[in-house]
């Protein structure tokens, strides 16, 4: 199997690279020209040349069977600067990747989406942020290729993610930092639900979707990829404390809910024949708990 990966230097991308290399697949990573983040020796580096035609030539040399598209800008503000970066990364580069994948003869294109396009918690398209809107706009572009070319495209709408080695300022990481430092974490009232999804399950969902397409299984345009259970943020902190044995100093209600807060996440269109394998309690213990007697410092 020959796979091109965008966003390979990001958090999920690094885990995806490791998993497909372990399976013995040939891999190239399409990266930004100035991105010098080290990649595994077995991964061919393909700098994005900035045009669909030139990227198509670079991918044609590699001849990928599938493109895994994880590259994105995730600016959650709505100002002019965010508009520029979001549209360039999520639409401009995304459109180039689709066009190049088709021209290079790839058969499958699996892209990362977000559950935040469903702010109402239903199948209705209702974007929480401009970021979510650009992901939906990319989906509209990919539909052209899905309907009119041999390239089979699918978008996986991911729920809240967590896992080892994650330095992103996600809620669970803020909870873990507060547990270590003892500094009080100021939070919203905490009654919104989330479906935490371990990064290993995300990786398996991408591989599973690509494999189904390459085996000739007909897939729709978009599917939900969500964690095994829905919990409120309050319940999530309780689960964290049970899994790690560490109390979390947290002041619920110190912050208001965000504008367009998602209170009930949509996960009503699951990826066929896939389900998360890592239970929440097991995942939290594996990521955040330390072996007995091992001291954890605040700068870990």
For residue 205, give Cα distances in angstroms to 68, 128, 233, 270: 11, 24, 25, 10
Length of the chain as a residue count: 300
- Would residue 50 be called left, alpha or beta, if left means φ above 0 and alpha means ψ between -120 and 50 degrees? left
The tokens of 182 are what?
């003892």
Sheet strands (E) in the chain: 2-6, 26-31, 43-47, 66-69, 108-114, 152-158, 161-162, 185-186, 193-194, 197-198, 222-225, 231-232, 250-251
SS3 content of the chain, % helix, strand, coil (to 5): 40, 20, 45
What's residue 36's pLDDT?
A: 87
Helical spans, DSSP H, in 9-93: 11-22, 52-62, 80-86
Low-confidence ranges of the chain (pLDDT < 70): 291-300
pLDDT value of position 42: 94
Residue 296: the pLDDT is: 40
Which conformational region is residue 24 in: left (phi greater than 0), alpha (psi within -120 to 50 degrees), or beta?
left
**pLDDT value of position 79:** 80
pLDDT at 295: 38
Distances in whole angstroms, Cα of residue 98 to Cα of each of 90, 102, 152, 215, 221: 12, 6, 10, 20, 14
- What is the structure's pLDDT at 16? 97
**Which architecture does CATH list for 2-162+196-225?**
3-Layer(aba) Sandwich (3.40)
Q: For residues 167 and 170, what is the distance between their CA atoms, to the nearest angstrom? A: 8
């Amino acid at each position: 199997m020959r796979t091109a990966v965008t966003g390979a230097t990001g958090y999920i991308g690094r885990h995806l690279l490791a998993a497909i290399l372990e399976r013995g697949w040939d891999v190239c990573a399409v990266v930004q020209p100035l991105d010098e983040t080290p990649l595994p020796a077995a991964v061919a580096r393909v700098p994005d040349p900035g045009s669909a035609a030139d990227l198509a030539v670079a991918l044609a040399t590699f001849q990928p069977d599938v493109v895994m598209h994880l590259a994105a800008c995730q600016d959650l503000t709505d100002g002019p600067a965010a508009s520029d970066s979001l549209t360039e990364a999520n639409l401009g580069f995304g459109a180039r990747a689709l066009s190049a994948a088709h021209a290079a003869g790839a058969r499958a294109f699996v892209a990362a989406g977000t559950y935040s396009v469903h702010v109402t918690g239903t199948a209705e398209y209702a974007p929480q942020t401009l970021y979510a809107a650009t992901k939906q706009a990319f989906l509209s572009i990919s539909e052209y290729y899905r309907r009119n070319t041999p390239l089979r495209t699918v978008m996986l709408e991911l729920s809240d993610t967590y896992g080892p080695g994650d330095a992103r300022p996600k809620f669970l990481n803020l909870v873990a930092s507060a547990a270590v430092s003892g500094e009080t974490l100021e939070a919203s009232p905490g009654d919104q639900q989330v479906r935490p999804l371990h990064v290993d399950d995300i990786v398996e969902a991408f591989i599973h979707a690509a494999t189904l397409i390459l085996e000739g299984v007909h897939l729709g345009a978009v599917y939900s990829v969500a964690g095994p259970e829905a919990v409120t943020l309050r319940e999530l902190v309780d689960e964290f404390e049970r899994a790690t044995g560490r109390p979390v100093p947290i002041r619920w209600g110190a912050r208001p809910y965000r504008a367009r807060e998602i209170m009930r996440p949509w996960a009503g269109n699951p990826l066929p024949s896939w389900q998360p394998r890592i239970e929440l309690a097991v995942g939290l213990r594996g990521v955040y708990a330390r072996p007995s007697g091992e001291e954890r410092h605040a700068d870990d």
